A and B are shown apart, each in its own frame.
Chain A
Amino acid sequence: MAALFPPWANTVYRAVLAAGLVGATVVVAAPMVLARTSYVTGEDQPIEQPIEFDHRHHARDDGIDCLYCHPGAERTAHAGIPTTETCMGCHGQVWNQSPLLEPVRRSYFSGEPIRWRRVYDLPDFVYFHHGVHVQAGVACARCHGDVANMPRVYRAAPLTMTWCLDCHRDPPGPAHPGRRVTAITTCSACHR
């Protein structure tokens, strides 16, 4: 009876088995790796905004304090996006003819909000409070990066739960002396 398989069949067979094992490993490992890449976390990806707003001019060149436009950050949950009124506070005088600022003026006179795109985006089931972090001496840059040098703002942190926990498990000393910083890892600190 003729041999059913040629001699090289063994090699192929072993190769296939090996490939199977490797494949299985990859299938399991790949998602874990992927989940940590910026491709999934959306880190470091500049987001286009309805208005070509450049933090470099405002924060770096003009040295405007973060809190001037994001006053909520100090005391409330939301840092807050500045109202059109805030923009016009200056741009009513400077660059008040600039075509770039046309949407701002339109918003101001129509009362229609400017539709900015969210950069830092937490799930609905996560409750983050800016105020308490700022009060504890966490510098804006720790999470937001060097915004002053970002032409177009991108996310400087993965915003994964482990990333939050890195600080929450062993918080670095307070930026300002006399500020209380405690490790809070209980679930309801963020999930309510």
Chain B
Amino acid sequence: MSSPSPSLAEPLTDVLTRVEIRRRDALKLLGAGIALAKAGCMQAPGEEVLPYAHKMPELSPGAPLWYATSIVLDGYATGVVVESHEGRPTKIEGNPAHPASLGGTSAIQQASILDLYDPDRARVVELAGMPSSWARLAEQLGALPPGPLWLVLPPQSSPLVAGLIARIREGHPGTRVVYHAPLGRGAAYRGAVHAFGAPLEVQLDLTRADVVVALDADLLGAMHGAVRWARDFAARRHLDAPTDTPVRLYAIEPMVTPTGSLADHRLAAPARDVLPVATALLSELGRRGRPVPPLPPVAASVGLPPERLRWVRAVADDLIAHAGRSAVVVGDRQPAACHALGHWINAAVGALGATVRLTAAALDEPLGDATLADLAAAARAGQIGTAAVLDCNPVYASPPALAIEAALRAVPLTVHATPQVDETSRACQWTAPLAHYLEAWGDARALDGTVSFVQPLIRPLYGAPSTVEILAALAGLRGKTGRALLREPWRPRLAAAGPAFDQAFERAWTAALGDGFLAGTAAPALPATPTAALPAALVAELDRALAPPADDRLELALAGSPAVHDGRFADNAWLQELPQPMTSLTWSNALLVSPRLADRLDLADGTVVRIRSGDRTLLAPALRVPGHADGSVTLELGYGRRAPDQPIADGVGVDGFALLGADGALIVPAVDLAATGQRRRLARTQLELDDHGRDLALAARLDDYRRDPDFTREHRGPLPSLLPVPERTGLQWAMTIDTTICTGCSACVIACQAENNVPVVGADGVRRGRAMHWLRIDRYVARERVVHQPMLCQHCEMAPCEYVCPVYATSHSPDGLNEMTYNRCVGTRFCSNNCPYKVRRFNWFNYNRPETTAALQHNPDVTVRDRGVMEKCTYCVQRIRGAEIQARMERRDVRPGEVVTACQQACPTGAIQFGALGHADTPMVKWRQQPRAYAVLHDLGTRPRTMYLAAIRNPNPALDNDEDEP
């Protein structure tokens, strides 16, 4: 039974037993797991059942276990809790105690479980394409050829890795390390150096913010730490009553991000115009008597168009009005200068030490050691003996000008350790499979510095080593398991020396692994204030950057994909099919353009455009995005992979890196667009963004809400019905969703997919309107204002789908669920026709592929649907029934908050609340009693159990005009 939420009260992981489990052959374990997981199957009569030969500590067949571990992306750790069925990890949940998660997760984190079982994973060590072995590679790594060693690996925050790299440097003097992250935060750190002389980390405390200004910063979506920040932001954004004053959000950005979509005042501007705006903002603050450093003359020359100036002035006033309770956040993509100015702005409005704290960087060597450019140069000069590329794909994810592939080929010994054979593998002699994080030991720091542990839930499926083990081999520590490597440095730190040291350490170690992190290891805030005057370097940079552009050519703003990040997740089918926030585009990226620009260039959705930047060109299909800045076009990175060994990723979308300048800056100042004749059919899940004047996703401005709190009256309350009311017994399940704090990040979509064995249908399936997501996020745009409306089965009390089913395959449970009994469904699809919300999904083909390893991810508590049957959101009925059974056995009632749906659990902002109507003091119930609660299509009399809270905006009266009206 899948228990509602990962409780850390679970028996704490005993390391030795984990090792016991790991020592067994993983696949055999899985075999047993499956055999037992399906409690009896009417396949061949007398099917086999395989008990374990030896008792599995902690494990009783059929009952899942949860283990804490950490996901590390670009060096920053997020604590998660992983559900495991008979040694088979099946689901990722956020670790409620971990500061970077607070229980929430991102879509990418949710989907990472699928990578473990990806059939396309690299499986064998290869030397020049011939199968070799890990032992041989380890040997090779132990005896490197002459010449300095270069390491290329993602940014690291791991104390263990730092130690190992230090040892490697001892063993191999002249070793250089390239921390490769195309979406890295180098500029942010350099900006901090400008302001504080040190690469400090910005820690936001949004729970204390009344005004937040996002300068091209997707602090609720893409940025590291967004999961945590979204939760804090939501705490200040959600209203319990009209009298509450929610945090006000300003955003300036080219493409509409989750953050921008929630902003009360969103200024659509090219990314390159953010620095001038920041400069203007700083000088406006100065003009208002705030302490700001003298700005260089060039700052005065910044001429903003009137409406932007108006915006800046209003923001300045608002920031000052809420001094000490306001914060400015600068996006990672912006130049160091912009980050620096951001620090001075925060200082000027008294944010430092209040809403913004500065700590030591979480990363080791945040400013990096060497760059890819250095690597390329050194390689060509023949100054590299060995290049070890670990867990990254620089050949693909790097500026073409650097010609990394050629550079690597020029190196005598090249090793690529990678989860999947990719572009870089082709350029290297050795290719080693890399363990998935659920197979590996390790540690890392969260953005706030909290030490988090990575512990395996399963033995490496293909015996692959982890990054740590490879580094250890380079450091000359051969034959040491990841676990041994990790324990060694922590021994002195976890327990005080003394007689009972060993027991003390084991206890601390077990506790640490049980929690998944070390509480109280967050980096302390530093009493940092920016220098009184702008440093010369910054002034020089400003002079360069603020010089008025020669001509107003279009800007190309490159961005990480919310789904496949920088391409490392491109082989993940869930993420490929995830409808992207705002565009609901799947299985591809596109050149995102504003409708106005599209009209000017005569671009329809899907028109293939030739993008030219200097001598680099790229063909990409265009897609209009209401709200996109006119002077800019956006292209998401991570697509257009050329990796035959990654069939899901290969050739999907176009490769934005092809347009990346040698400096790797994501803001390409000048590009030319030319429409070509061709047209590409984009696979999108939502084609209509206009609500056609129907009141579907309600929204109101704060003052209007206060004036007329009851403005949703038309959309709730009792309605007469001729139909018999279904009998009700027991708890009555229901859901409430606050669209005020829904960012549309889509973590819930993947969480639902993972929990409920929802299949993928591929690009063509999506084009034909056959996407299977049980939970989709509807978006309606009115006057460039977005409301995100998670749309899932509404569990109508008067469900139209129920009375049209000829065989009772969909029926109503006494506790208010609209049940879908797959095995009774004959597939007339009448229910789907009669569902006004169109949340029912049909298995047009047999989408389930039991023969692939991907099937091992399936949740054994949910039936895997066959072709020809209807399916839909069940409110995670398996979790409800599981909790009921538990309660029944313990002779008690189900407790409030005991049942948590997958979407609710994943939601970073906590916008989705689920529970029983009887549990009066849960948020779910309190929320739906608010005046702004409403039911979608209320007048149909379907009496949905899912209710929504209208989106309340908090516009600044000074800026308020019709445009800002939601």
Contacts and interface: CB of A to CB of B under 8 A. Distances in A.
A183 B61 CA distance: 27
**Chain A contact residues: helix, strand, loop or mixed:** loop
Nearest to A178: B891
A129 interface: yes
Contacts of A112: 53
B48 interface: yes
Contact of A123 (B49, B823, B880, B881): B823
Contacts of A83: 51-55
A186 B811 CA distance: 9
A121 interface: yes
A72 B46 CA distance: 21
Contacts of A47: 46
Interface string B854-887: 0000000111100000000010011011000100
Interface in A160-174: none
29 contacts: A76-B62, A77-B62, A80-B61, A84-B53, A85-B54, A108-B54, A113-B28, A113-B50, A113-B51, A114-B50, A116-B49, A116-B50, A118-B47, A118-B49, A121-B47, A125-B823, A126-B39, A127-B878, A131-B885, A132-B888, A135-B889, A136-B888, A186-B811, A186-B819, A188-B880, A189-B881, A191-B822, A191-B823, A192-B877
Nearest to B815: A186
B38 A124 contact: yes
Interface in B1-58: 1, 24, 28, 32, 36, 38-42, 45-55
Nearest to B876: A192
A78 interface: yes
A139 to B, nearest CB: 16
A121 B42 contact: yes
Given A116-B48, A187-B813, A76 B53 contact: no
B52 A129 contact: no
A42 to B, nearest CB: 6
Nearest to A82: B51
B52 A113 contact: yes
Interface string B42-81: 1001111111111100001111000000000000000000
B929 interface: no
B852 interface: no
B885 A84 contact: no
Interface centre among B51, B864, B880, B891 (most CB of A within 10 A): B51
B821 interface: yes
Contacts of A80: 51, 60-61
A118 B49 CA distance: 6
Contact of B61 (A72, A114, A121, A192): A72
Contact of A117 (B46, B819, B877): B46
Interface of A: 42, 47, 71-72, 75-78, 80-86, 107-108, 110-118, 120-129, 131-132, 135-136, 180, 186-189, 191-192
Given A85-B55, A114-B51, A188 B36 contact: no
A132 B881 CA distance: 11
Given A131-B889, A192-B877, A115 B63 contact: no
Given A115-B50, A118-B48, A129-B1, A78 B878 contact: no
Interface centre among B54, B811, B861 (most CB of A within 10 A): B54
A86 B202 CA distance: 57
A80 B656 CA distance: 54
Contacts of B822: 125, 191
Given A78-B39, A128-B40, A192-B878, A118 B46 contact: yes
B811 A192 contact: no
B382 interface: no
A84 B42 contact: no
A117 B1 CA distance: 24
Contact of B874 (A85, A126, A132, A192): A192
A48 to B, nearest CB: 8
Contact of B48 (A117, A123, A187): A117
Nearest to A129: B885
B874 A121 contact: no
A28 B62 CA distance: 41
Interface string B822-834: 1110000000000
B173 interface: no
Interface centre among B36, B862, B885 (most CB of A within 10 A): B885
Interface in B357-393: none
A189 B813 CA distance: 9
Contacts of A75: 60, 889
A107 B51 CA distance: 11
B91 to A, nearest CB: 15
B750 interface: no
A77 B861 CA distance: 11
B814 interface: yes
A42 B50 contact: no
A192 B53 contact: no
B817 interface: yes
A122 B42 contact: yes
A76 B61 contact: yes
A110 B28 CA distance: 12
Given A83-B52, A187-B813, A192-B878, A128 B819 contact: no
B48 A121 contact: no
Q: Which 8 A-B pairs have the closest CB atoms?
A: A122-B40, A113-B50, A81-B51, A77-B62, A186-B813, A78-B62, A125-B823, A123-B42
Interface string B307-335: 00000000000000000000000000000
A99 to B, nearest CB: 20
A77 B62 CA distance: 6
A136 B885 CA distance: 11
B63 A77 contact: yes
